[in-house]
Amino acid sequence: MFRLAWGVTGAGHFMRETLDVFLQLKKEFDVMVTIFLSRAGEEVARMYGVFEKLKMVAPGGYYQEVIPESREGASFPKAGRFASGKYSAFIISPATSNTVAKMTFGICDTLITTAFAQAMKSRVPIYVVPTDHNEGEVETTLPVIVDR
């Protein structure tokens, strides 16, 4: 049994692709997934129409829940779970350039950056999928909801 933590930041690029990867992982392997959503991640997941689909990856129960930053306390207590040694890996995808910069400089002011720091301290393997990985034009998809 693998326990994975998935951190979702406020990027739309790779949002649907990452969801598809996690759905495939759930189908092929015995894996439990906890989803950590930053405030912007929750907002963008709703705009891209994937928020409700997250429950297919994390249907509920301990180590299988969706944890939005908006429901966490100021110190993000659920980020402390990484100290338990129960997670096999922490995948942050999609990761905005803002989140990557904060992780680089040790700024822990969101659920994702705090979870990153806790995972680092606990030696949990971390995989980051940045959205701004190539120079030049990037092709992406538009959200299903645009607030005009």
Tens-place pLDDT, residues 67-116: 999 999 999 999 999 999 999 999 999 999 999 999 999 999 999 999 99
CA-wise closest residue to 59 among 83, 80, 32, 19: 32
Domains of the chain (ranges plus CATH)? 2-130 (3.40.50.1950)
The whole-model pTM stands at 0.89
Chain centroid to CA 99: 11
Average pLDDT over residues 129-147: 67
What's the CA gap between 89 and 2, in Å, rounded?
9
Give the chain's end-to-end CA distance (angstroms, integer).
45
pLDDT digits (tens, 9 = 90+) for 23-50: 999 999 999 999 999 999 999 999 999 9
